[in-house]
Amino acid sequence: MRVAVIGAGVIGLSSALCIHEQFHGLLPSLELEVYADHFTPHTTSDGAAGLWQPYLSDHGNLQETLWNKETFDYLLGHLHSPAAKEMGLFLISGYNLFTEPVPDPSWKNIVLGFRNLTPKELELFPGYSYGWFNTALMLEGRSYLPWLTNRLTQRGVKFFHKKVESFQEVSGDGVDVVLNCSGMRAGDLQPDPQLQPARGQIIKVLAPWVKHFIITHDLKSGIYTSPYVIPGSEFTVLGGICQHGNWSTENSAKDHKSIWDSCCRLLPALQKAKIVGEWSGLRPARPSVRLERESVRLGNLQAEVIHNYGHGGFGITIHWGCATAAARLFGSILQERKQLATPAGPRL
């Protein structure tokens, strides 16, 4: 049984690991191959700050809230393991700020210690009159992706540096299942008008005195269009850009100024912070995550494709829930092909 995984961001690698962990024991013939044009540290997941936090509202998408919860609980369970540091996993607390009262988010009971801000705390943030404080997790892509890669390599998973142009390209060689984790470029493999870039730009600075994340919100202009500050283990990320439909991955001077000015207004001490980098990336935005099976006829072959893309600005937040869901879809494929029942039987 050969499985081709397209994409080596957090979604591709975690789905691959989850499937291998769950099925390799039952199916020793299982061979996984990861194909990607970009590997860590050049994926979208590497550029993300790594904060676990869903959007403010799940728009009734209860399934995504459950996947978020599953991811948080899974990571929390690993917090005290010796692997935590290598994974880039640690606890972080911080502030979400608003200019008006808002309903509590879908994730208020998933994170730890969720509460409203007190008047004295709001004094720290002139211009904001309402907010939340909670403890969440950081999972830094620059550490997590190499950790996933090591786990996969140990399990004998092979990696191929290749831009896949079609499902046919990877399924032709006796590959039974394709795991499509191609993120922003899923549309190149199969047109999907619902998938659009939500371009972000970030400035990396050295500001080690900042110990909290601070996310401001402008409800009119949308998520991540308002300044945010996220302290990592090596540098702090300043952001506040989310441009729908913009495919450019070039850093924009105008966006730089907007991020810098607004973050320094939020935290005056940042004026003294040293800038150590800048990056632009495309959040693979979609009204909902596409996580489903599809039978694809390619020539005279039938392949099963498991789509797992469109995680927007919450890929890290939702990744493990989606990985286990993808693994369940894989399991159902195996059931149908009776691969699990009779490993020695003829292959369909």
Partner 1 sequence: MASPKVAVVGAGVIGLSTALCITETCPSCSVTVLSDQFSPNTTSDVAAGMLIPHTYPDTPIHRQKQWFKETFTYLFAISNSVEASEAGIHLVSGWQVYKSTPKEELPFWSDIVLGFRLMSEAELQKFPQHRFGQAFTTLKCDCPPYLLWLEKRLKATGTQMYTRKVADLWELHSEYDIIVNCTGMGARQLVGDKQLFPVRGQVLKVHAPWVKHFIRDGDGLTYIYPGVHRVTLGGTREKGSWSLSPDAGTTRDIFDRCCSLEPSLQGAQDIEVKMGLRPSRQCVRVQGEVLSQGGVKLPVVHNYGHGAGGFSVHRGTANEAAHLVGECISALQGSLSRAKL
Residue with tokens 């399991």: 331
Element (H, E) at 113: strand 112-116
Phi and psi dihedrals of 225, rounded to 5? -100, 5
Is 244 within any annotated ligand binding site? no
Residue with tokens 């081709």: 4
Is 315 within any annotated ligand binding site? yes
Nearer to partner 1, 70 or 255 (CB): 70
The residues near 122 (Cβ < 8 Å, ≥ 6 apart) are 128, 129, 130, 131
Is 92 within any annotated ligand binding site? no
Give the three-state DSSP class for 283.
strand
Q: How do beta strands 213-216 and 89-98 pair?
A: parallel
Nearer to partner 1, 71 or 308 (CB): 71
Q: In angstroms, what is the minimal distance from the CB of 308 to partner 1?
A: 29
Residue with tokens 């899974």: 74
Binding site for partner 1 (CB under 8 A): 79-82, 84-85, 90-93, 112-113, 115, 117-118, 120-121, 123-124, 133, 135, 138, 207-212, 231, 233-234, 268-269, 271-273
Nearer to partner 1, 94 or 313 (CB): 94
Is 34 within any annotated ligand binding site? no
Phi and psi dihedrals of 248, rounded to 5? -75, 130
Q: In angstroms, what is the minimal distance from the CB of 76 to partner 1?
A: 8
Question: What stretches of the chain show up as alpha helix (H) in DSSP?
Answer: 10-23, 44-47, 62-78, 84-87, 119-122, 141-154, 167-171, 186-189, 253-266, 315-336
Is 339 within any annotated ligand binding site? no
Nearer to partner 1, 135 or 150 (CB): 135
Nearer to partner 1, 118 or 302 (CB): 118
Q: In angstroms, what is the minimal distance from the CB of 244 to partner 1?
A: 32
Is 23 within any annotated ligand binding site? no
Nearer to partner 1, 109 or 221 (CB): 109
Instruction: Compute CA distances 82 → 36, 88, 90, whole Å.
Output: 29, 11, 12
Q: In angstroms, what is the minimal distance from the CB of 270 to partner 1?
A: 9
Is 316 within any annotated ligand binding site? yes
Residue type, position 345, single letter: G
Q: In angstroms, what is the minimal distance from the CB of 31 to partner 1?
A: 34
Q: How many residues does the chain have?
A: 348
Q: Which residues are annotated as a binding site for D-serine?
A: 228, 283, 313
Q: Which residues are annotated as a binding site for FAD?
A: 44-45, 49-51, 164, 312-317
Q: Which residues are annotated as a binding site for D-dopa?
A: 53, 217
Q: Which residues are annotated as a binding site?
A: 44-45, 49-51, 53, 164, 217, 228, 283, 312-317
